[in-house]
Amino acid sequence: MMSLLGDYTSSKLSVFPKSASSFSGESDWVFHFITIVCVVFFIPIAIALFGFAWKYRKAKGEPADSQVDHNTTLELVWSIGPSFLLVVMFYFGARGYLDMRSIPEGAYNVGVDAYKWGWGMNYGNGVIHPELHVVAGEPTKLTMTSKDVIHSLYIPSFRVKKDIVPGRYNYIWFKAMEPSEKVMTDEECKQLADKDKEENLSWDYDARQCTPDGYNFYDLYCAEYCGTNHSEMQTVVVAHETQEELDAWIKKYSSRGPDESPAAYGAKLYERRGCKSCHSIDGSRLVGPSYKGSYGTMRDIVGGSQVKVDENYIRESILNPKAKVAIEQGVAYQPVMPSYKGQLSDDDIYSLIEFIKSLGDASAAEEASESPAEEAAEMASEEAAEAASADAEPVSVE
């Protein structure tokens, strides 16, 4: 879990999270305006309510002092009077809303893919990462779609929210006003990430108050109920100082490095692209089957037949997940995985397959037991697993 508010609000008693976008000033101003109007109406009502109840208490049977039952002038005044204030509220609300709906031309465009239960921010050229990175002071436009059910993108500090509806694009834009600070050097980050690897943990945004790249951040929540892990569907927004800094960050995640093994890169994709929220690598049953030791095994699928978990099956399961739904211990998994067609390159899929292989390869073990090269094969798979875990850079957010 992330904890941020303690850091970016002025006090524990603050009504709002930090105001950090070009909209939040107006939104807060309108909120306070309405609240003041409400209080101005509420206090006299409450005083009259309790005051009359106390002042006009009488013994049983004593008649009331007055039986006046209408006063048309008074009633018209309190019916029509407040309407003017309502018009003012409506006007300010609509004005602020139109600002949010008028997307400036030339805004920096990020694609957003929402799925159960994670985020894929698409920076173009195949760079997809769960964190949202933007440039402070520049308008950013999000083109959002969902792969499964309705989600909703909500950044409290920016006071923006928009539902993400499958089957259509919804848009939102904002201008982050303050750049995120770099609170940890790359060195420190690397040390912490290495420590995580040893203990097989993912990056703890909550405890460290910064991203794995060392920036502090704003929360980003899913606000439309979307099933089991709705409350875990969170990520972060980082506002960079300059476009160059953002470009450098994007480049860092652009693709598999020249000397990076496919299995190690597959491990990164597993973290970044949301596989992690449904498939475990320690054998526990989540929403989907665990990857651990699955490669090369035979698997029951819905419809009564069996299929061998090999390259083709994994590829098919990534591109067309509902084709062969696994059954484990007599219980079928829910066919809820979205298709990654067009989302992953061939190299990405290959890397993921290599990563899954590295988590225990039953077919290799089988072959090994038949051949004298048993030890060699085992060693090879162990090495791959080591490589995978050593280079894995967990970035997904819990």
Partner 1 sequence: MSAGSVPSGYEVNDPGYPTPQENYLTNSKGILSWAFTLDHKRIGMMYLIGVSSAFLLGGLLALGIRLHLFAPDGILFNNALFQWLAPDKAPNDIYNQVFTLHGAIMVFLFIIPSIPAALGNFLVPVMLGAKDVAFPRLNLSSFYLWVGGALFFVMALLASGLDTGWTFYTPYSTTTDSSVILATTGAFILGFSSIFTGLNFIVTINTMRPPGMTWFRMPLFLWATYSTSIIQVLATPVLGITLLLLIAERTLHIGIFDPEYNGDPVTFQHFFWFYSHPAVYIMILPAFGIISELISVHSHKRIFGYRFIAYSSIAIALLSFIVWGHHMFTSGMSPITTIIFSALTFTVSVPSAIKVFNWVATMFKGSISLTTPMVYAIAFIFLFTIGGLTGLHLGTLATDMHLHDTYFVVAHFHYVMVGGTVVSFLGGVFHWWPKMVGKMYSEAGGLLSAALVFIGFNLTFLPQFILGSRGMPRRYATYDPEFAPLHQMSTYGALILGAGLFVALFVLLMSLYNGKKAPANPWGGATLEWNCTSPPPFYNFERPPVVGDPYEFGDIRWDTELDRYVKVEPQRERVPSETPAETPAHASE
CB of 32 to partner 1, least distance (A): 10
The one among 73, 83, 198, 346 contacting partner 1 by CB under 8 A = 83
Closest CA to 110 of 239, 303, 259: 239
Which part of the chain contacts partner 1 (CB under 8 A), choosing from 76-84, 182-190, 255-263, 356-364?
A: 76-84
Per-residue HEC secondary structure of 258-274 comes to CCCCHHHHHHHHHHHCC
CB atoms < 10 A from the CB of 155, how many?
25
User: What does the alpha-carbon distance between residue 55 and residue 48 come to, in Å, rounded to a whole number?
Assistant: 10
Which residues, numbered 187-246, are part of the site for partner 1 (CB under 8 A)? Answer: 206, 219, 221-232
CB of 212 to partner 1, least distance (A): 19
User: What does the alpha-carbon distance between residue 373 and residue 355 come to, in Å, rounded to a whole number?
Assistant: 22
Q: Cis ω on the peptide bond leading into residue 117 (within 30° of 0)? A: yes
CB of 239 to partner 1, least distance (A): 17
Helix (H, G, I), strand (E, B) or coil at 86: helix
CA 145 to chain centre: 13
Eight-state DSSP code of residue 281: S
The one among 10, 20, 22, 66 contacting partner 1 by CB under 8 A = 66
Which residues, numbered 305-324, are part of the site for partner 1 (CB under 8 A)? Answer: none
If one asks whether residue 4 binds partner 1 (CB under 8 A), the answer comes out as: yes
CB of 59 to partner 1, least distance (A): 8
193 is written with which tokens?
């990430």
Rounded to whole angstroms, what are the CA distances from 352 to 36, 237, 276, 348, 356? 56, 27, 12, 6, 6
Nearer to partner 1, 82 or 303 (CB): 82
Rounded to whole angstroms, what are the CA distances from 331 to 285, 302, 326, 327, 348? 11, 10, 9, 5, 30
Which part of the chain contacts partner 1 (CB under 8 A), choosing from 123-131, 162-170, 310-318, 346-354?
A: 162-170
Which residues, numbered 336-355, are part of the site for partner 1 (CB under 8 A)? Answer: 336
If one asks whether residue 104 binds partner 1 (CB under 8 A), the answer comes out as: no
If one asks whether residue 178 binds partner 1 (CB under 8 A), the answer comes out as: no
Closest CA to 377 of 388, 363, 394, 393: 363
CB of 200 to partner 1, least distance (A): 20
The one among 11, 73, 78, 370 contacting partner 1 by CB under 8 A = 78
Nearer to partner 1, 48 or 248 (CB): 48
If one asks whether residue 393 binds partner 1 (CB under 8 A), the answer comes out as: no
The one among 6, 106, 304, 330 contacting partner 1 by CB under 8 A = 6
Element (H, E) at 363: helix 362-370
Q: DSSP per residue over 128-190, as a string?
A: EESSEEEETTSEEEEEEEESSS-EEEEEGGGTEEEEE-BTS-EEEEEEB-SPPPB-S-HHHHH
CB of 207 to partner 1, least distance (A): 10
If one asks whether residue 73 binds partner 1 (CB under 8 A), the answer comes out as: no
Which residues, numbered 24-63, are part of the site for partner 1 (CB under 8 A)? Answer: 26-27, 30-31, 34-35, 37-38, 41-42, 45-46, 48-50, 52-53, 56-58, 60-63
Count interface residues toward partner 1 (CB under 8 A): 98
The one among 92, 137, 183, 292 contacting partner 1 by CB under 8 A = 92
If one asks whether residue 79 binds partner 1 (CB under 8 A), the answer comes out as: yes
User: What does the alpha-carbon distance between residue 348 and residue 266 come to, in Å, rounded to a whole number?
Assistant: 7
Which residues, numbered 278-307, are part of the site for partner 1 (CB under 8 A)? Answer: none
Which residues, numbered 130-159, are part of the site for partner 1 (CB under 8 A)? Answer: 148-150, 152, 154, 156-157, 159
CB of 98 to partner 1, least distance (A): 6
Rounded to whole angstroms, what are the CA distances from 364 to 289, 353, 357? 20, 14, 9
CB of 199 to partner 1, least distance (A): 19
Nearer to partner 1, 90 or 366 (CB): 90
CB of 331 to partner 1, least distance (A): 7
* E-only strand ranges, 58-150: 108-115, 118-122, 128-129, 132-135, 139-146
If one asks whether residue 95 binds partner 1 (CB under 8 A), the answer comes out as: yes
Nearer to partner 1, 228 or 254 (CB): 228
